[in-house]
Chains A and B, each alone.
Chain A
Amino acid sequence: MPALAVLFAVTLAPTAFLIATSLTPLDLTKPQTIGDFSQPSRNFHLLLEDRRFLNSLWVQAKLSFWTVSLQLLIGLGFALLLNMRSSLLQALRTVFLIPMVLPPIVIAIIWKVIYTPDISPLYWAIQSLGWHMPALITHADWALTAIIIADTWEWFPFTMLMILAALQMMPEEHADAARVDGASPFQMLWFVTLPYLRGVLLVAGLFRLIDSIKAFPLIYILTDGGPGTLTEVTNYYGFVQAFNFGFLGYSSAITVVLVAFTVILSWLILRLVGWGRDVE
């Protein structure tokens, strides 16, 4: 029971605090702004007109859409490939998990190396083929793509694992029945396997969607939100407002919007997979 009390205290108190600060014009350089509730909705009105905020939502939408789709697609592909009884594949499965367990900061360093033309094996390979590639992370058209690629590399193992777990629980009879009926492998995939996986794909997608809202280390290290604000997602914009500019009140308002999204998505997940206890 004390654990519960602690849990409530440490999760609800900061949230309440956050909502409170989002109603004030708190500015780190002006201490008198800390408890000023005279215009509680001011920050939220400002948000609606803040082009940089609206831009960050759009960047976020693009990033989330592409990373989630690519991770689901690649995760599905790998899971289908690895779903065989074989000790070799069993061993290799571990290899595919590496990107997911590495510290995010190490992932960011790895991709910084790859995207830095002077020292990158990728640029070397492309040059020796006689092609030319712009420096992706400083290029306006490519910076977001570069982040999407790195994020996909980091997190496709997650979707792969979840799909693989579902595949291994798939009842054999379905597949057998279809095979007897003379279904081609492609038909099998389309009419038997995919419908079976629909649930897990949805849940894995939702998990990745929530996580994509939190993307930080990759952006911080690879592009710093740039060039300009082309890779500045909402989370990053909130960080910049709070800890570069010192506008904690305004940043809290941005964050409240993000938290609202997260709670709704978490609620959706729980609706889908059940509420934790009485569910298989």
Chain B
Amino acid sequence: MSSRAFAYRRAAERRFIYALVILLAAMIMLPFVWLVLMSFKTNDDIFAFPPKLLFVPTLDNYVGLWSSSFRYSFLNSAVVSVTSTLLALLVGVPGAYALSRMSIRQEKPLSLLILASRMAPPIAFTIPYFLAYRWMGLLDTKLGLILIYLTFNISLVVWLMRSFFDACPRSLEEAAWVDGASLWQGFVSIMLPISAPGVAATAILCFLYSWNDFFFALILTRNHAMTAPVAVVNFMNYEGWEWGKIAAGGAMVMLPVLVFSIVVRKFLIQGMTTGAVKG
């Protein structure tokens, strides 16, 4: 085969792959786009047959949703997710640093503990927490939710940040100690600034974890502390099938997630794959 014919074939192959990938991307996106479109449709348009691709968009669903009690659930979600993330960083980052800098004899059990606690089915934590909360009066409170998310986020922070600190050379803070800095000063003024991007990415992963949670919120809250995902599902169960509002609720729940995912795309991929595996 001459080199020109070969190059020609390569180009044709490439175009074919492009077309195929674009087609597949469209297929993957379709269900998701449909939901977003639905959130801007009136109820009549949603049930129209055949479905209308061109329609007059309306914000009614969003307005209706926001004037209902969904507003409070949305705020609950925000408060609970942000607080648990901040607390997890506060405890977890110094902890990860300590772990990274000392030699621990029980290395293997610790790794197993962290991984298993992230992997265990949520119900394993829900039953003890449910009983304890019932006894302490923490059921259906924001504090209760914050505490249970904290459990998971601390292990995530330790897991991700430890590998981050492992990668930072020790010579930097040793230099600071030689200059008379304390252990804590070395950590705050040398290590933290270096690892700021890692902390930010970890924070976003923690936030997303709490924000996306459905199971804990379903069981540990009733109405006061109900979070947005549970509120959306309640729309399905109790208020008839108001598809427009359900779609609008879904869209609002996923909005922060999409924004953050795009912002930290690269970290997200690392955090979810290599971070999850390698630690």
Q: Is A119 an interface residue (CB 8 A)?
A: yes
Inter-chain contacts of A70 with B (CB < 8 A)? none
Interface residues in B222-257 by Cβ distance below 8 A to A read 229, 232-233, 236, 243, 246-247, 250, 253-254, 257
Output the least CB separation between B264 and chain A (Å).
10
A129 CB-CB contact with B under 8 Å: no
Q: Is A273 part of the contact surface with B, judged by Cβ < 8 Å?
A: yes
| B contact residues, range | 35 or more
Given A221-B233, A235-B123, A248-B131 in contact, is the A113-B21 Cβ separation under 8 Å?
A: no
Tell me, in angstroms, the Cα distance from A279 to B163 when the chains sit together. Answer: 11
The answer, yes or no, to whether A7 is at the interface (CB within 8 Å) is: yes
B112–A266 touching, CB < 8 Å? yes
Taking the closest CB of chain A, its distance from the CB of B36, in whole angstroms, is: 10
Residue from B50, B95, B166, B276 in contact with A7 in the complex, judged by beta carbons closer than 8 Å:
B95
Question: Does A175 count as interface, using CB distance less than 8 angstroms?
Answer: no
Interface segment among B63-71, B151-159, B194-202: the answer is B151-159
Stretch from B54-62, B113-121, B174-182 forming part of the interface with A: B113-121
When the two chains form their complex, are residues B214 and A161 in contact, meaning their CB atoms are under 8 A apart? Answer: no
B190 in the interface (beta carbon within 8 A): no
Indicate if A59 sits at the interface (CB-CB under 8 A): no
> By the criterion CB–CB under 8 Å, are B28 and A96 in contact?
yes
Q: Say if the beta carbon of A194 comes within 8 Å of chain B.
A: no
A142 CB–B CB distance under 8 Å: no
> Would you call B169 an interface residue if the criterion is a C-beta within 8 Å of the partner chain's C-beta atoms?
no
Q: Does any Cβ of A come within 8 Å of B18's Cβ? A: yes
Confirm or deny: B129 has a beta carbon within 8 angstroms of a beta carbon on chain A: yes
Residues of chain B within 8 A of A3, CB atoms compared = 91-92, 94-96, 98-99, 154, 158
Which B residues form the contact surface with A (CB < 8 A)?
14, 17-18, 20-22, 24-25, 28-32, 34-35, 38, 46-47, 49-51, 91-92, 94-96, 98-99, 107-108, 111-117, 119-132, 150-151, 154-155, 158, 162-163, 166, 208, 211-212, 214-215, 218-219, 229, 232-233, 236, 243, 246-247, 250, 253-254, 257-258, 261-262, 265, 268-269, 272-274, 276-279
Given A21-B128, A103-B214, 11 other A-B residues pairs in contact with their CB atoms under 8 A? A11-B114, A97-B261, A98-B258, A105-B214, A118-B47, A162-B273, A165-B273, A220-B233, A267-B116, A275-B107, A277-B107
